[in-house]
Amino acid sequence: MVEKAAAPAEKLVGIKGMNDILPPDSARWELLESHVRSVMRGYGFENIRTPIVEPTPLFVRGLGEVTDVVEKEMYSFTDKLNGEALTLRPENTAGVVRAVVEHSLLYNGGRRLYYMGPMFRHERPQRGRYRQFHQIGAEALGFGGPEVDAEVILMASALWKKLGLEGIELQLNSLGQPAERNQHRAALIAYFEQHMDVLDEEAKRRLHLNPLRLLDSKNPAMQAIIEKAPQLLDYLGDASRQHFETVQSILAANGVTATVNPRLVRGLDYYNLTVFEFVTTRLGSQGTVCAGGRYDYLIEQIGGKPAPAVGWAMGVERVLELLKEQELLQVQPQLDAYAVVTNVQFFPQVSACLQALRASGVSVQMQASGPEGMPSLKSQFKRADGSGARFALIFGDDEVAQGCVALKPLRGDGEQLRLPLTGVASWAARLQSPPTV
């Protein structure tokens, strides 16, 4: 009796909106991250890495219960072992503040910190907006002056310049202080109560809970009344107004153009005073590339001693989309050389040569053998060319017998040379690719 073959296993695929990052795209991520590290180092910011999973109350308390993130978008669950309420982080400012408070990082004064990593929100996936997305963020904690607001904005501007990005506009606003916002809040409620027939159900629900969120509504039917709503700038006191004007004057002195947008409120509750967004028209509806502001009360809300802070977060996928659209951040091939080997018996000599090259900073890959030995030379050269390497290192019978390797250029003109297998370090430099810009 012949047994039936087992049915093939069901193919498993990734979760919608949570994407694999594959070569060569992953190399662009690495290059962007290296530019970010360079800019952060120039401003004295240090790297911090926090857990992906945090206690759910951290975000409820820090972001605000009446926000889209907390109400609709968080991936929250109960730990099966201890019943603890946990959440995949939807943003990382709250996590950084939690770490700063927990480890007393402000004990000896302010800290400038930055992070990189994935965030999670249950949204409808679209261009530049995913359920697992990545942010790079900067947080200056323990500093209350407007010059630090301007500094973090200038740092983001410096990054756009380093990357060569164009078409990014800076928008600014001030949310003032709590007492000023309370006055504005009362005025907003009174104003929108006169237009209840225009408000959608979401706006009606939020009107008495968090009326500032109504200014962020994307409902086209509400835009006309939103445009005429009371502006928070009109309720700022002298200190808040001076803070905002100083930020603008520092930016202007550094050649950074900013547009005051009185409707810019941001989507999280922890902001006060300066808020800002870097926006573009080149990504369709997902126009915000980087956003942030001052959050002087969040540290106390999360259980720390009162301390001011300001920061921003940048959407990595959106910045990479912009770089791609503007044909910037081109990635060079990862390999300098590809080893073509005619006989498996040469592997000891080949391996020793390649290890010496790698120790000298050359990136090199070796052709692997199959069940029947080495592939044909034609097949190997095809692989060598497809690898993107600038050179082929040919380990043939004659070359190995003479203690040499043939160096064949794969890109552009150049003569084929024979180089000694001894003293590899003396000729390794000629194989190295120029630095990536």
Going from N- to C-terminal start, the domains of the chain cover: 25-176+236-325, 337-431
Cβ-Cβ contacts under 8 Å for 193 (sequence gap 6 or more): 207
SS3 397: helix
Residue among 355, 403, 411 at smallest CA distance from 387: 411
**CB-count burial class (<10 Å; 0-12, 13-18, 19+) for 264:** buried
Residue among 175, 183, 186 at smallest CA distance from 270: 175
Cβ-Cβ contacts under 8 Å for 103 (sequence gap 6 or more): none
* Per-residue pLDDT tens digits of the chain, which is 437 residues long: 566 667 778 888 988 889 999 988 898 999 999 999 999 999 999 999 999 999 999 988 877 766 677 878 899 999 999 999 999 999 999 999 999 999 999 999 999 999 999 999 987 777 667 899 999 999 999 999 999 999 999 999 999 999 999 999 999 999 999 899 889 889 989 999 998 988 888 888 888 888 877 887 888 989 999 889 998 899 999 999 999 999 999 999 999 999 999 888 765 667 899 999 999 988 876 689 999 999 999 999 999 999 999 999 999 999 999 999 898 887 777 789 999 999 999 999 999 999 999 999 999 999 888 888 888 889 999 999 988 899 999 999 999 999 999 999 998 778 899 999 988 999 998 888 765 54
374 in Cβ contact with 380 (< 8 Å): yes
CATH superfamily of domain region 337-431: Anticodon-binding domain (3.40.50.800)
Task: Please report how many Cα atoms fall inside a 13 Å half-sphere around the Cα of residue 229, on the Cβ side.
Answer: 31
CATH 3.40.50.2000 describes domain 25-176+236-325: no
112 in Cβ contact with 138 (< 8 Å): yes
CA–CA separation, 263 and 174 (whole Å): 10
